[in-house]
Amino acid sequence: MHVDRTVQQRVAIIRFTSPPVNALSIANGLVAGLAAEIDQVNALENIDAIVLAGSAGTFSAGADIKEFDHDRSRLDVSRALFERVAASRYPVVAAIDGTCLGGGFELALACTWRVGTASARIGLPEVTLGLLPGGGGTQRLPRLIEPGAALDLMLTGTILDADKAARVGILDAIIAGDVIAGAIEWLQTSGAQPHREVSATSKIAAAVHARGDVRGVAQRAILACVEAAGTLPLAEGLAIEARLFDGLLDSPESLARRYAFAARRIAARPPLGVDGIAHPLQSVLILGAGTMGIGIATAMINAGIDTQLFDPLDGALDRGQRTIASTLEREVTKQRLSANERDVRLARLGMVTDLEAARPADLYIEAVFEDLSVKKDVFETLDRLAPEGALLASNTSTLNLDVIAGFTKRPADVVGLHFFSPANIMPLLEVVRGAKTSPATVATAMAFAKRIRKQGVVSGVCDGFIGNRMFEEYLRQSYFLLEEGALPQQIDQALERWGMAMGPCRVLDLAGQDIGWSVRKRRALEQPDRPYSRIPDMLCEMGRFGQKCGAGFYRYSNGRTAEPDPEIDALIVAHSAAIGVTRRAISEEEIVERCIYALINEGARILDEGIAYRPSDIDVVYLDGYGFPADRGGPMYEADRVGLPAVVSRMRAFAQLRQGWAWQPAPLLLELIEQRGNFSALNASA
């Protein structure tokens, strides 16, 4: 950490550096260093103003999150810094380059003015950590800009680019070129006066009232703070904000979200032993213009990657191009993308009908039909055509990557890249490491995941990898619950109330019932001793493949809205009778426990087999790929929260019900209980 000061043309420039993100650490002395500089400049004469700047393209990512678990009173040290800045004898301009988030933005809000370069990214993302802006943000922002806009930023954690920040009144100017030189010039030429508070009390009250139905604890606390900003003097509002912030630090929601913040960053690092040296990938060729191929191509051009899409089938590329163009067009219509940027992105996309004539690429991603003989042809061709050193990736979700790698003479360069549909939206990317995949290939794939703004998680090879293998057990329980007395809407409602983004029956209708059908047919041959319920097969036999054909577990008479269907309810009830099961009332608690504990049990097996490297990796897969509630941290985190002995004791109770074979506790769970350990301890040692 380093804070330095220079003076140019009667302007004191205070510059701070604390890699990697200029977090406002108390422990490393940054906050104290900044406070000392502000005091010293205020003691100087012949100064007109102060410029406060970060370094290396970052203003500050906010308070140091890692320090929240230690001494809370330390946060008052940051708050005292912000008050010193606000009370400075000389006006202070925050010169913002790059990220300016959370406490970093609150530091800037305490300044007299804010200017930023085009790369400035500004926001208050505390809510994503289950917190509120606790360094004055809830008090100063609604006094600076429209209170409704201020509230929306705080309630959603949205990050604004420089243009938007200027438009709403956060930035006083956008600087071209060097941020410090630009800030000095702006100070000398703009004639700017300190801002006056723009927000009348009634406006704040109206903005709070309009958003009164928020659900999360952090959101509710944000509303309370902003309400105080409308009625109380600044100092009193700041005191309320500090008190509510400190209370949130211990909330289960914030603890879970902070765990997830760290888990995502840990997951993004290849595990020890496979931490090779990554090399950059500049160009990609995608094979197969089906739904996955098109989604992957969209993700690539959105991330600035030179992309070719190959498909030999008549019309496939035209369809692909149209779909991609209309996806981007929708973004333009919603004003999330400029027409110019749309054109730039589309220009990155090339269509290829003849693989032999395609430009060589750094990465090839196969997204063809899920059939081993088709994959064989593709990988043999790639082995012949791809330049040396290129990565050969398969997007398979069910086939054995080691077998696929065996179709080439370069298995070290073969890796699985399991995207989740829609691939341009879902953040998760399982990076599948085959037995012969080299550490450098894994590292390169993980670095590439970050480049395309996906959350990479390394998985070993097994059927379904981490996510889908666990999901199968979750679905198995959902189907048994249907047989025993529940209806689709009851199962979905229980899990959605618990926090899942979407219940399993709705998920299956959305994904297409036919996908699961083919897996179940395969399983019936491979694992005849682990039968599924016949209910989902019966839907498929009726042609009810889900939303795409207007009927699945639900009816979709107006497109997307799932409506309970009495025909399906009757079919389920009749099926229970046909297999001799007396239906019973099933509680929400049982539904949730059976589905979630099935995830935990299979997760423990996956860990034991070394398919997942850390419990927290499994949690990241579920948070970012399966709509697991962020406030609950992921299935393995949830297992620790409930307590492993309690989880296993419920499993043993479920084993007394029908299909008890599905409730054999994973050996790792029993081992951890015996050692009085838990998944969190495994994370710490991984």
Strands (E), 163-230: 173-175
Q: Residues, the chain, total?
A: 686
Q: How far apart are the first and last CA of the chain?
A: 29
DSSP-based three-state secondary structure for 459: strand
Nearest distance, CB of residue 132 and ligand 3H9, angstroms: 7
Interface with ligand 3H9, residue 142, by CB under 6 A: no
Q: Is 166 helix (H, G, I), strand (E, B) or coil?
A: helix
Residue number with CB closer to ligand 3H9 (75 or 432):
75
Strands 363-366 and 283-287: parallel
Half-sphere exposure (CA, 13 Å, Cβ side) for 370? 15
User: How many whole angstroms separate alpha carbon 568 and alpha carbon 483?
Assistant: 12
Pick from 116, 133, 629, 633 the residue near ligand 3H9 by CB under 6 A: 133
Nearer to ligand 3H9, 101 or 244 (CB): 101
- Residue 265 contacts ligand 3H9 per CB under 6 A: yes
CA distances from 284 to 127, 194, 589 (A): 36, 51, 47
Both structure tokens of 517: 């059908």
Interface with ligand 3H9, residue 489, by CB under 6 A:
no
Does residue 63 interact with ligand 3H9 by CB under 6 A? yes
Cβ contact 117:96 at 8 Å: yes
Cβ neighbours of residue 357 under 8 Å, at least 6 residues apart?
none
Cβ of residue 248: shortest distance to ligand 3H9, in angstroms? 10
Active site (annotated) includes residue 45: no
Among all residues, whose Cβ is closest to ligand 3H9?
102
Per rule CB under 6 A, is residue 416 in the interface with ligand 3H9? no
Judged by beta carbon, residue 123 or residue 665, the one nearer ligand 3H9 is: 123
Q: Considering the complex, what minimum distance in angstroms separates the CB of residue 383 from ligand 3H9? A: 34
The tokens for 631 are: 């406030």
- Write down the catalytic residue from 126, 253, 430, 484: 126
Q: In this structure, how many other beta carbons lie within 10 angstroms of the beta carbon of residue 611?
A: 22
Residue 345 CB: number of other CB atoms within 10 A? 21
Whose Cβ is closer to ligand 3H9: residue 243's or residue 497's?
243
Provide, rounded to whole angstroms, the least separation between the CB of residue 10 and ligand 3H9: 31
Query: Could you tell me which residues come within 8 angstroms of residue 74 by beta carbon, excluding any fewer than 6 positions away?
Result: 26, 27, 67
Query: 137: closest CA among 49, 188, 63?
Result: 63
Residue 106 a catalytic site member? yes
CB nearer to ligand 3H9: pick between 99 and 308: 99
Nearer to ligand 3H9, 103 or 464 (CB): 103
CA–CA dist 220, 155 (Å, integer): 9
The active-site residue, picked from 106, 430, 473, 483, is 106
User: CB-based burial of residue 289 (10 Å sphere; 0-12 exposed, 13-18 middle, 19+ buried)?
Assistant: buried
* Binding characters for ligand 3H9, 75-114, by CB under 6 A (x = yes): x--xx-------------------x-xxx--x--------
The whole-angstrom separation of Cα 75 and Cα 132 is 13
Which of positions 1-30 make contact with ligand 3H9 (CB under 6 A)? 20-21, 23
Residue 62 touching ligand 3H9 (CB under 6 A) = yes
We find the least distance from the C-beta atom of residue 98 to ligand 3H9, in angstroms, to be 9
Q: How far is the CB of 87 from ligand 3H9 (least distance, A)?
A: 17
Which range touches ligand 3H9 (CB under 6 A), out of 60-68, 371-379, 500-508, 519-527?
Answer: 60-68
Minimum CB distance to ligand 3H9 smaller for 99 or for 489 = 99
> Per CB under 6 A, does 624 bind ligand 3H9?
no
Binding footprint of ligand 3H9 on the chain (CB under 6 A): 20-21, 23, 61-66, 75, 78-79, 99, 101-103, 106, 125-126, 129, 131, 133-135, 137, 265
Active site residues: 106, 126
